[in-house]
Chain A
């Protein structure tokens, strides 16, 4: 049985839905997402904030949900990869990743998508160098990164309403 100070009641908006839970202080955000809420799109790997597969957005900023206390999400807005698509309609980033073959095994993809969304929300017209720098804390062992950088550039153009070229 955990003492009172170890448990707290929190309310967060997760992909637009208000969620209230009593959580242990030690519960990480990714444990809340995956184990309690069944949102298993967010992956866990290094648990050292190095690989990026657990990236979610808290109030629009990317965090490593493996090392982020669920309690710190209290009163905040959390977005996971499940919140990207609009019903059956994929987000432009998701479409661009598929078209550019920016994934193979797909394990790192949710992290790359959320990280890329954080960039495009702040910088609508990033250069390939800016994209590469922003994503340098995410690891992919399949693609060699080039297709990912192309996909993000392509999604950025579409989000700005520009026609495709290349």
Chain B
């Protein structure tokens, strides 16, 4: 499989990168999704605009009660980052189990969200953590919650001229969480994230990978969680990894396991 011909731009600044983007001039980061889509002929952009050198998309910092993660950070970077491990060990753990070791080295958090692949661990976890994304184009900046950004399968709310600059996660000292997944191929069949504020008891459960987009619910306490309601609310996609009925069953099993892990977490 040879890649079709294309031009590659490697801008060093955000302004340059934004000026280069267009309908047929698309962002390129790790290429773990984009290059595969191009190999099989699903996409044929004229120019790839490499975002890896843009400083605004790099690094992790905490600022004004939020963890700010540059969009080009790789899964491997995040799984080992000292700050992420300290303030959000749940995210570090999820990142350490994405795909395989090579996908983690090449693939970025921004590319993962922008591609909106349904079988993602990252979007599921970020929705549970109430994360948002910062998008920027030559004409301005906007922020939206990850749960609103992921609109459909392979469809994120992003204009061709926009770059995902960073992912922002509110830091809540009283938060605990768990993530469990079931996987027989290189991508998850089901992934469940549960996050609770231990002060108020309120919790959010997010089920990803079974359907086209993650499904989430908020409850006032763990005791209120209705596992049956959740497993009937998901809309499973039937494929080689299972039938609709099977995936509903798995959903219920994995929500229960996530709740068990939550109780064990500190």
A and B form one complex: yes
Shortest CB-to-CB span from B10 to chain A, Å, is 8
- Bound complex: CA of A25 vs CA of B100, how far in Å? 25
Q: A55-B102, A137-B186 are in contact. Are A68 and B7 (CB under 8 A)?
A: no
Shortest CB-to-CB span from A72 to chain B, Å, is 8
* Pairwise interchain contact B106-A64, C-beta atoms closer than 8 A: yes
Q: A68-B31, A137-B186 are in contact. Are A25 and B7 (CB under 8 A)?
A: yes
Number of interface residues of B (CB under 8 A): 28
Shortest CB-to-CB span from B121 to chain A, Å, is 15
* Pairwise interchain contact B100-A136, C-beta atoms closer than 8 A: yes
- Bound complex: CA of A71 vs CA of B47, how far in Å? 14
User: Which residues 40-72 of A have a CB within 8 angstroms of B?
Assistant: 47-50, 52, 55, 61-64, 67-69, 71-72
User: Which residues 10-53 of B have a CB within 8 angstroms of A?
Assistant: 10, 31-32, 35-36, 39, 47-48, 50, 52
User: Which residues 4-34 of A have a CB within 8 angstroms of B?
Assistant: 5-6, 8, 24-26, 28
Partner of B100, one of A6, A8, A49, A68: A49
User: Which residues 87-136 of A have a CB within 8 angstroms of B?
Assistant: 115, 118, 134, 136
Q: Across the interface, which residues of A come within 8 angstroms of B9, CB to CB?
A: 5
Number of interface residues of A (CB under 8 A): 30
- Bound complex: CA of A69 vs CA of B102, how far in Å? 14
Q: A64-B102, A64-B106, A67-B31 are in contact. Are A8 and B8 (CB under 8 A)?
A: yes
| In the complex, B99 has a CB within 8 A of chain A | yes
Shortest CB-to-CB span from A76 to chain B, Å, is 12
Q: Across the interface, which residues of A come within 8 angstroms of B239, CB to CB?
A: none
* Pairwise interchain contact B39-A25, C-beta atoms closer than 8 A: no
Q: Which of B10, B32, B76, B100 has the most CB of A within 10 A?
A: B100
* Pairwise interchain contact A6-B7, C-beta atoms closer than 8 A: yes
Q: A47-B1, A50-B186 are in contact. Are A63 and B8 (CB under 8 A)?
A: no
* Pairwise interchain contact B3-A28, C-beta atoms closer than 8 A: yes
* Pairwise interchain contact A67-B7, C-beta atoms closer than 8 A: no
A-B contact pairs, 8 of them (CB 8 A): A2-B5, A8-B8, A25-B7, A47-B39, A49-B103, A64-B102, A67-B32, A69-B31
Which residues of A are in contact with B by a Cβ distance under 8 Å?
A: 2-3, 5-6, 8, 24-26, 28, 47-50, 52, 55, 61-64, 67-69, 71-72, 115, 118, 134, 136-138
Q: List 8 A-B pairs, minimum CB-CB distance, nearest first.
A: A137-B100, A5-B7, A25-B8, A26-B3, A61-B105, A64-B102, A47-B1, A67-B35
